[in-house]
Structure 1
Amino acid sequence: MSKTFWHRWGQLIAATLAVLAVVSGIAFTTTARNAAQASSGRIVISFWHSMNGPNGQLLDKIVDNFNQSQTKYKVVSQYEGSYGLAESKYINTLHTNVTPTIMQQSDIPTMTAVGDYVPIQQFADADHYDLNQFYPGILSGFKLKGKLQSMPFNASSSVMYYNKDLFKKYGVKPLSKSPSYSEIRAAAKALTEKSKGAVKGATLQIYPWLPEQLAANQNAVVVNKDNGRTAAATSAELNTPAMQRTFAWVQNMIKDGSFQNYGTGSSASANQMAGFLAGKIGIFMQSSAAAGTIAKGAKFKWGETFTVHADGVPANGVAAGGASLWISKDKSKAEQQGAWEFIKYAMEAKQQAAWQIGTGYIAVNKASVKTAALQTAIKKNPDINVPIEQLQAGKVNAATAGPFLVNSQMDQYLGTAMQQIYGGKDIKQSLQEAQDEVNKGIRDTNKNNAAILKSVFTK
């Protein structure tokens, strides 16, 4: 959620020449494909997504079912690689017949800054469509000034995972549903000591999204202007009591010898998962979408809990992650309406229940949990309902909306601060240095791109 526009924009420009080299070929094949589909008399709706493997197969099934449910529209889904690659293709083919009518994307700041979309709020208002059927804690992450920009589809949230068999083996009390920092620290220390170091009790990946969630759970924002949701943020809020408490907790576990630091970069997440599946890590925090990987790879009993909260601070809730569906502005009214009809279909309780069961993402429609299919799945494994229970228990406010920041510096400098803190550097000094650097970037962005920022907040 915190990926930002100008960093991504620089990467996209760097990729432009390579992408444009194949655009003409793509345009030809896309036009031919759409012409063939249109021969059936249906209005063709192109849909770019980033779901591969089993998730992609299930998405294609939802598309096929929609196409069979009516005769006016034909949705043609196409896997376009990772979110970053798909976004590059999208921006470099804007205003051509190649650009899709529906775009799945996780990078909200970039999509809003590029601006080639019609806000979902407009379709919902015109259709008198009830947005209250969805979890407000998820919708808030996709709103600006109270208006829904895109439809959350593959939603997730942060949770804690733990190895129940290791806890039982070493006589450690299982985690509570909503654990505190001290509870996690005590369990991590006990696992490490009782295993004589064969197990490291806990880890927290150097991944800025995670401390942002831990701040949200203390009702703390990370940028001003209501986390950048009501107006363009003008300053970061990183050196706060919430962040200080979070990293004091981490440093204490490091001092206990119960914390495993997997470092940074693309391999950190994979190594963390491998360590957990190998029984070398007792507890870790990650997206609820990781449950599918754990379920397939774990040879032991494991559990989920709500995201950990600071001692003495009531759990406020966390921000939703994942990606959403956007409707392109430069398509015909008929295509846009077809896109909206498909989105409504995909968001029905039955489809969302199947999506959660098959992928591990959260069923966004509140009625999904009442379907027979999802009730059966929850009865078989109650832990898959933890992210939903966490949403229901959480508050809907600026903190749980998550930060909206059209600026490139947050991830970079907060990540650097995490590395320094894990290495033993003073917490307040590290956070202040990160905050100062982020503020420089925010000032430059606001000064140089006033027109774009104005358009973002006036949609």
Structure 2
Amino acid sequence: MRLWVKLLAAKAALAGLLLLGSAQAQKVTIEFWHSMGGVLGEATEALVKEFNQSQDRIQVKSQYVGSYDDGINKLLAALRAGRGYPHVIQVYDIGARIMADSRAVVPLEDLARRYGFDMDRFIPQPRNYYTIDGKLFGFPFNPSNPILYLNWAAFQEVGLPYKPSWSLKDLEEAARKLTKKDAQGRTVRYGLSIPIDSWFVEQISYNSGEYFCNNENGRKARATAVTFDNEAAVAFLDMYARLVREGVAANTGRGWADSQSLFAQGQAAIAAYSTASLTGVLRQIGCRFPLRTAYYPFHQERNGVAVGGAALYILKGFPEAETEAAWRFVEYLLRPEVQGRWHLNTGYVPVAKGALELPFVRQGHVRQPNYTTAIQQFLTSKVNTASAGCLMGSFPEIRQYVQAAWEETLRGKPAREALREAKAKADQALERYNRSVAER
């Protein structure tokens, strides 16, 4: 009798192992590359873990591949080799034209139609950016926009009122009032600190109704020349150089970390960063001073900022089951409740309609009202080809020329001259890119 019971138990155990093995064999594994490090990386890995635990059919293996530049360069190298690329990749905003031209992407709009996903579930501004030749190629996963960070204690100290919207003139005047110098004339608190990053020049252009590249930001036809020597960009760089010479603005170089540290330590009263910096900046500030945020400045009249951050793309060349699994992962990340958690953990703008109405998101905004600034900036931006942002190839290379022009301006060269010199190099880079696409 005991032997019979043991035999039954052994058979049951064997059957269980066979079933488990069968289930594991049917599980589809996909690769996901992302460029989120630090606080943002923790939030990204948490979402991947949530998805894997939410179902038993798909296993996502995530990999941090370095900066946005590192990620797209690694992808392009893998595509040239014909192997080693992921099912899903996060690519920054300026890679949109490159991804569409690569012919290696399954347009997300096609997959949405195939699987009955309603495209109207997304707010228009992020969708506006990633629509190329009339079709949405990537789904905006972590949309950002630039905002002003304000040391509210410093504002109260000098009696400056809060302003949600700022012109360049407003910004310069406030920066002067907020600057503190010691008896020897050395600056102990800068009025303004902005990293030397092309993104801020791009956004001052869009928010002033200017184009960064021709053919209406490459939205009416393929961009063939840059237009970043526009009046808004010239005014912005000339203003910043003027304030640096006077000890009113800080020159912390191209890296964001030094500028953020300066601001968090109370040594700069106004700064400009991404909305995605919000959680990290709040941690750095701690209890030193209260923080308030405001819209990014404009030159003469406010138009609207373009989407920053990155989108998710699904690559071609995989079996149908793996492509569907990749879609299910992307779809999960874009659910309102997932977007709501992502928003509160990072500061990125949720793109799914309904996310902001969720009770836990509303409660999060009550606790930290600065999360609403970027959302309101998007919602009050005009939706046009200027705020859609520039769509062009060679954008990563072209950004380097813009940043070099900013540095030349800080060394004393007039902004218009520095930007026109940079434009000549950028136009050559863009011509090379367009020719390479035409030759494929």
Equivalent residue, structure 2, for 1:76: 61
Q: CA deviation at 1:88?
A: 4.1
Q: Which moved more, 1:159-168 or 1:48-57?
A: 48-57
Aligned-residue offset at 1:220:
0.8
Indicate the residue corresponding to 2:5 in structure 1.
none
The 2-side partners of 1:51 and 1:417 are apart by 28
Between the aligned partners of 2:159 and 2:245, the Cα distance in structure 1 is 20
Q: Is contact 1:223-1:235 (8 Å) kept?
A: yes
Separation of aligned partners in 2, 1:57 and 1:105: 18
Q: Give the aligned partner of residue 423 of structure 1.
A: 411
**Cα–Cα, structure 1 residues 121 and 277, in superposed 2: closer, same or farther, change >3 Å?**
same
% same residue: 28
Are 1:397 and 2:387 an aligned pair? no
Q: State the match for 1:134 in structure 2.
A: 122
- Match of 2:439, SS? helix
Is residue 32 of structure 2 the alignment partner of residue 47 of structure 1?
Answer: yes
* Length-normalised TM-score, structure 2: 0.86
Q: Of the candidates 311, 331, 349, which is equivalent to residue 336 of structure 2?
A: 349
Give how far 1:378 is off: 0.4
Contact kept? 1:347, 1:364, Cα under 8 Å: yes
Please report how far the alpha carbon of residue 448 of structure 1 lies from its aligned counterpart in structure 2 after TM superposition: 4.3
Give the alignment partner of residue 207 of structure 1, picking from 191, 194, 197. Answer: 197
Is 2:291 aligned against 1:305? no
Distance 2:262 2:141 in 1: 30
Aligned pairs (5 A) from 1:241-260: 241-254=231-244, 256-260=246-250
Counterpart contact for 1:238–1:434, Cα < 8 Å = no
Q: Which residue of 1 aligns with 2:178?
A: 191
The amino acid across from 1:117 in the alignment is V
2:339 maps to a residue whose letter is Q
Instruction: Assess, with a 3 A threshold, how the Cα gap between structure 1 residues 176 and 271 changes in structure 2: closer, same or farther.
Output: same
CA separation of 1:38 and 1:283: change in aligned 2, threshold 3 A: farther
Question: 1:282 & 1:355 partners in 2: Cα distance?
Answer: 28
Q: Cα distance 1:58–1:246, how it changes in 2: closer, same or farther (>3 A)?
A: closer
Shift of 1:259: 1.5
The gaps in structure 2 that reach 5 residues or longer are 1-20
- CA shift, 1:359, in A, is 1.7
List gaps (5 residues or longer) in structure 1: 1-35, 453-459
Structure 1 SS opposite 2:392: coil
Counterpart secondary structure, 2:370:
helix
Larger Rg: 2
The match for 1:376 is 363
1:333 maps onto 2:323 in alignment? no
Q: CA 1:240/1:54 → structure 2, altered by over 3 Å: closer, same or farther?
A: closer
Q: Distance in 1 between matches of 2:401 and 2:127?
A: 28
- 1:239 equivalent to 2:229? Answer yes
In structure 2, C-alpha distance between the alignment counterparts of 1:37 and 1:330, rounded to whole Å: 26
Q: What amino acid is aligned across from residue 391 of structure 1 in structure 2?
A: F
Asked whether the 8 Å contact 1:144–1:230 carries over to 2, the reply is no
* Matched residue SS, 1:175: coil
What CA distance in whole angstroms lies between the structure 2 residues aligned with 1:337 and 1:292? 33
Q: Hey, what's the Cα distance between the residues in 2 that align with 1:49 and 1:416?
A: 28
Alignment of 1:320 onto 2:293: no
**Paired residue for 1:101?**
87
> With structure 1 as the length reference, what TM-score do the two structures score?
0.83
Aligned residue identity for 2:44 = L
Amino acid at match of 1:129: F
RMSD of equivalent CA atoms: 2.5
Could you tell me how far apart the structure 2 residues matched to 1:146 and 1:247 are?
Answer: 34
| 3-state SS of paired residue (2:174) | helix
Aligned residues between the structures:
412
Aligned mates of 1:96, 1:185 — CA distance in 2 = 51
CA contact (8 A) 1:221 1:227 kept: yes
